[in-house]
Amino acid sequence: MTLGTDIAQKLSEVVDTDIRIMHVCGTHEAAIAKYGVRSVIPPQMKIVMGPGCPVCITPQGEIDAACELAERGCIVCTYGDLLRVPGSKTSLEHVKGDVRIVQGITKAVEIARQNPDKEVVFISVGFETTVPTVAATLITNPPENFSILVSHRLVPPAMKWLMEQGEADLHGFILPGHVCAVMGYHEYEQFKVPQVVAGFEPEDILLALLMLAEQIKNGEAKVENAYPRVVTYEGNVKAQNLMKEVFTPSDVEWRGFPVIPESGLALKPEFEAYDAQKKFDLVYEKITKKDGCICDRVLRGLADPSDCKLFGKACTPRVPVGPCMVSHEGACRIWYQYQQKR
């Protein structure tokens, strides 16, 4: 595939200083690695990844809680990606119990209807892209034996936290196309830093990089949209309203991060009956285990997967040590997959 040669050419003309751009989306990392985007951009430009995958940023305590539910006899329904993510003791793949892979919440509700004498819990992870699907389901009165373990996270609060730390020394952000498809991009105007919404074709990403480089060169800091085919300024308002009807922001921990204010979601009181954490009195343990995994630094844009001593050695997709090697959207997994081929 001819990789946006014109754009790459233009990019090399515009970039004349060291620039670090962060993306916050696992699908972007997958596209960047697959098409070798890093090899066609000027050497001064570095693309680092942020906390872009909802699986990678789910803290171990929440994985442990999901495993506990299975051990206590619930039918646990989860996206396949979460299966191998290691908790502190075991994973959903290895725990003793009834764990079922579902494509989405609709199937989990169906399972609850078919098993009225069992408790069925859906492990509800995902960013703003996914949240409305959960909200839309909860307002349709799922059965009483159904509940969800709420593990949702929101992108802007994490970006805000990262910028406040200033540790990753970032000059701009590629904004996540599908999060913005739902949310629009007005929220991001609070950040006084160059930002461009990008799609998932290599040309989309290169175009976004070029727009960022131009903003940086001109000393501007605005939010631009390089993915107008899908993303509008307002986003999907119907979906946003449903989210607000069902959820309210809450302070939560991210794997590799401390508690970030208002970066998660909690069910509103009217929907509390569906909250598995309350229903089963689950306590999320804060776990800081030392196993050499540097996912926390990778998720903050401070290290590359290949900086990890375990990368490709003790840690592979088959025997993952950290979550970033598990998920399709995980940085280590993606690097492992594509560097093997090169």
Residue ranges in contact with other proteins by CB under 8 A = 26-27, 30-31, 34, 53-55, 79-82, 103-107, 125-126, 129-130, 132-133, 136, 140, 178, 181-182, 199-201, 229-230, 235-236, 238-239, 242, 317, 328-329, 337
The token duo for 285 is: 């343990």
In b/e form, how buried is each residue of 237-275, taking b as 16+ CB within 10 angstroms? eebbebbeebbeebebbbbbbeebeebbbbbeeebeebb
Residue 260, H or E segment: strand 259-267
* Torsion over CA: 289, 318, 254, 119 (sign): negative
The token duo for 85 is: 């993510």
Q: How far is the CB of 248 from other proteins (least distance, A)?
A: 19
Instruction: Indicate whether 178 belongs to the interface with ligand SF4 (CB under 6 A).
Output: yes
Helix (H, G, I), strand (E, B), or coil: what is residue 263?
strand
Q: How far is the CB of 13 from other proteins (least distance, A)?
A: 27
From 314, 219, 287, select the one nearest 60 (Cα to Cα): 287
For residues 84 and 79, give the distance between their C-alpha atoms in angstroms, rounded to a whole number: 11
Judged by beta carbon, residue 159 or residue 242, the one nearer other proteins is 242
**Distance set, CA 314 to CA 45, 294, 339 (Å):** 31, 13, 16
* Binding residue for ligand SF4, selected from 25, 32, 226, 246, defined by CB under 6 A: 25
Q: How far is the CB of 88 from ligand SF4 (least distance, A)?
A: 15
Q: How far is the CB of 177 from ligand SF4 (least distance, A)?
A: 7
Q: How far is the CB of 261 from ligand SF4 (least distance, A)?
A: 20
Judged by beta carbon, residue 213 or residue 299, the one nearer ligand SF4 is 299
Residue 60 partner contact from other proteins, ligand SF4, none using kind-dependent CB cut-offs of 5 to 8 Å: none
Contacts (CB under 6 A) with ligand SF4, residues 68-127: 126-127
**Contact of 19 with 216, CB cutoff 8 Å:** yes
Residue 295 partner contact from other proteins, ligand SF4, none using kind-dependent CB cut-offs of 5 to 8 Å: ligand SF4
Judged by beta carbon, residue 178 or residue 300, the one nearer other proteins is 178
User: Strand ranges (DSSP E) for 50-112?
Assistant: 75-78, 98-101
Instruction: Indicate whether 54 belongs to the interface with ligand SF4 (CB under 6 A).
Output: yes
Judged by beta carbon, residue 68 or residue 296, the one nearer ligand SF4 is 296
Pairing of strands 172-176, 19-23: parallel
Judged by beta carbon, residue 274 or residue 311, the one nearer ligand SF4 is 311
HSE-CB of 157 using CA atoms within 13 angstroms: 20
Contact residues toward ligand SF4 (CB under 6 A) are 25-27, 52-54, 126-127, 129, 176, 178-179, 293-295, 298, 305, 308, 310-311, 315, 321-322, 324-325, 329, 332
